[in-house]
Amino acid sequence: MRRRIAAVLCAAAFGVIAPSALVIAAGISTSIKDLMVSLIDPSADVVWGAAGTVVDKDEGTREMAPTTAEEWLDVRSAAVRLIEGANLLMMPGRAAAPPGTKSETPGVELEPAEIAALIGRNRRSFDGFARALQAVGLEALRASEAKNTASLLEIGGRMQEVCESCHQAFWYPNQGPPQSDGRALGP
């Protein structure tokens, strides 16, 4: 087994096989939920939190925007993670959730097996949402490089629509349109 893994690692290092084949050959796989919790949600939160207006009872109204090179780099890094996270979402054969996982909100969110079946029946649609996430991630990358706060705000709104539309299609398709109280709905 060690020799097989070593051979796969060497082949990947020399560019003989694609990194995705390395993951499959080594028997390592993360679920869609793992990607969402560990990579995509935190990265989306950085983009969403990068630009906007906050109204606080104690501090009043203030504008949020990256101001330092480090803050802009954080937004850029989050955008790159969104772009590449979308690639990972499109890898075939990925489970919806880790084995043994149950819905955290039964009756609202489908069970992982139901989500996986729905994705399987509608793979083109699921991949289309991932490509749309990738596209807004690329726009966020460009906006961060241009230090364009206004664009980040607009991109964040469109990213919210992409995320929520995918979730409505695959995680809780039996629910009606989201009811907003004026705050962002989270990924």
- Which of 18-32, 60-74, 154-168 has the least mean pLDDT? 18-32
Give 25-57 pLDDT, tens digit per residue: 445 689 999 999 999 999 999 999 999 888 888
64 phi, psi to nearest 5 deg: -105, 130
Q: CA triplet 85, 87, 90: central angle to 5 degrees?
A: 115
Pairing label, strands 52-56, 60-64: antiparallel
- 24 Cβ contact partners less than 8 Å away, ≥ 6 residues apart: 93
Looking at residue 78, its pLDDT comes to 98
Please provide the average confidence, as pLDDT, over all residues in the chain: 85
Give 70-116 pLDDT, tens digit per residue: 999 999 999 999 999 999 999 999 999 999 999 999 989 999 999 99
Stated length of the chain: 187
